[in-house]
Amino acid sequence: MGRGVFLILALAQFGCSGSESSSSTPAQERTILRVGVPEGNTAGDDTGVGQFVRFLNFESLTLAGADGRALPRLAERWRWDDNDLTLRIDLRPSVFLHDGTPFVGQTAADLVREAVTSESSLTQYPSFADIDTVMASGDLELVIHLKRPSAMLPEDLTVPLGFRRENAGTGPFRTVTKVPKGTKVPKGTEVVLERFDRYYLGKPAIDRVVVRPFESLRASWAALLRGELDMLYDASAEAADFIRNDDVQVISVPRWYQYHLAFNSRHRVLKSPLVRKALNIAVNRAGIVDKVLHGAGEASSGPIYTKHWAYDQTQAPYQYDPATAAALLDSAGYPLPTTSAGIGPRARFRFTCLLPLNYAVWERVALEIQRDLFNVGVDMQFKSVPITDFEPLLQRGEFDAVLGDMISGPTPPRALVWWRSARRFKGSLNTFGYENSEAERLFESLPRSTNEAATRSAVSKLQRVLHEDPPAIFIAWTTRIRAINKRFVLPGTSRDPLVTISQWTLAPSR
């Protein structure tokens, strides 16, 4: 599915050398933030432990706002030129890499060029394929020339810079634990980061961040309650009330990921758009959000993020209606037989859902879907495999359906990388065999929509096509829950508190 985009994987890299840090501060006077990451001890660099560590190390030119619009980060502002074929970017001044090099001119251009031309970036950010050249025009201006208009390029420039070089991050902390990139953290190992004193927003008040992966959700909760941790990177909704107390605050953060059951559209039954639509109508999303996610989510009906500024809110989502689902399956040629075929309960048809082992919430979501489908005469069985086997099976197309927690927002191109035609768009993520000529036309035209009216029109049409011919059962947009000890004072913000981690301070009374 593409490492780190589909799965909750883990781990980061890079050794310590070069720049100033808090190493001169006496150990007994240091402020240390101890962070636990549940289900985080697996290989990978983009989510889990890896995502958290990378967020503190590396930054991007832009950030994605709540509505999907690009916000300034290392870029202060940008403007289009040359009939939307040139993007001029003004850089923030006084930014330094962790090795002390100023983030200006050719250095900045080289880091951006490396980021937008890497294989993983080209897979995840479709607009990067439209880039012709990246050049410096003075110390604080970059110029990106395009081969063709690519309206959502600023939104895609959230890719981290310096990720492939040692000490080339610009973030408030830098990793000092040496762990080979892309590997699992040895059991019991902690990943340590030190503050970066020349951070452009000011020297962080936290001297050291210690990150500890946990095999299970429950083990991480227990460590927090015992006082071994100051923060849980991602607590579950069912644990929120349990761990909230006089010492711990719980903060909900909307995620751009959603649970979904993706179909292998090459399957003899699941290739039918009518069958896929019937299965969508058969699932009680509100019940899953309530029972499994404990309200920490929003029911979804498609891959386009519902808070994106171009999303068409007038289109009705799927309504839970088992009777209509059964009627659609009848009309698709799959009536419920009067007797069993001898391999289980009587069923219209059977298929297998691929699951990773030991992902508790995923398993509970899958069980609810299984029950809803059984109620309309469809028998879905599970194939649970170790996480190391999960992605290879997907890449080889060896599945009928697969349950996952997949990034789909905040911008429409996030959906594009999963559901493009594999015959037209060669990528490593679109392994589901989904083919729809109208969806493909819209996926192709959307990045060329250089005004808001055209973008809104293309997104609306795409929503409608994917509703009538759904490539998956889209279940719910999820919420990430941070649990943070109140000995840390967080700046007031409506955003994820991690964005302001360099400004966290200790409470005077503590």
pLDDT in tens, 361-414: 899 999 999 999 999 999 999 999 998 899 899 989 999 999 998 888 888 888
196's CB contacts (< 8 A; 6+ apart) are 19, 20, 21, 98, 169, 171, 172, 173, 174, 204
The C-alpha atoms of residue 502 and residue 170 are separated, in whole angstroms, by 12
The predicted model gives 192-220 an average pLDDT of 92
What is the per-residue pLDDT for 28?
54
Say if residues 403 and 365 touch (Cβ distance below 8 Å).
Answer: yes
What is the per-residue pLDDT for 177?
82
Who wins on pLDDT, 251 or 135? 135
Q: Are strands 32-38 and 231-235 parallel, antiparallel or unpaired?
A: parallel
What is the per-residue pLDDT for 169?
95
- CATH for 62-156, options being 3.90.76.10, 3.40.50.300, 3.40.640.10, 3.40.50.620: 3.90.76.10
User: Percent of the chain at pLDDT above 90?
Assistant: 60
What is the per-residue pLDDT for 132?
97
The C-alpha atoms of residue 206 and residue 272 are separated, in whole angstroms, by 55
Domain 256-479 has CATH 3.30.70.100: no
Burial label for 26, CB within 10 Å (0-12, 13-18, 19+), is exposed
The predicted model gives 268-291 an average pLDDT of 96
Tokens matching residue 392:
């290879």
Give per-residue burial for 459-483: e unless 16+ CB within 10 Å, then b.
bbbbbbbbbebbbbbbbbbbbbbbb
Rg of the chain on CA atoms, in Å: 24
The C-alpha atoms of residue 293 and residue 271 are separated, in whole angstroms, by 30
Any idea where the domains of the chain sit in the sequence?
22-58+171-247+486-506, 62-156, 256-479
> How far does CA 444 lie from the centroid of its chain?
22
Task: Report, in this order, helix, strand and coil percent for the chain, each rounded to 5.
Answer: 30, 25, 45
Burial label for 495, CB within 10 Å (0-12, 13-18, 19+), is middle
Reported as a single tens digit per residue, the pLDDT across 100-144 is 999 999 999 999 999 999 988 888 888 999 999 999 999 999 999
User: Percent of the chain at pLDDT above 70?
Assistant: 89
> How far does CA 257 lie from the centroid of its chain?
5
pTM of the model: 0.84
Domains 22-58+171-247+486-506 and 256-479 share a fold: no
Which band of pLDDT confidence, cut at 50, 70 and 90, is reported for residue 25? Answer: low
pLDDT tops 70 at residue 7: no
pLDDT tops 50 at residue 20: no
The C-alpha atoms of residue 356 and residue 351 are separated, in whole angstroms, by 17
What is the per-residue pLDDT for 142?
98
Which band of pLDDT confidence, cut at 50, 70 and 90, is reported for residue 422? Answer: confident
395's CB contacts (< 8 A; 6+ apart) are 1, 428, 431
Q: Are strands 401-407 and 488-489 parallel, antiparallel or unpaired?
A: unpaired
Topology of 22-58+171-247+486-506 in CATH?
D-Maltodextrin-Binding Protein; domain 2 (3.40.190)
Q: Is residue 209 left, alpha or beta, with left meaning phi > 0 and alpha meaning psi from -120 to 50?
A: beta
Which band of pLDDT confidence, cut at 50, 70 and 90, is reported for residue 439? Answer: very high
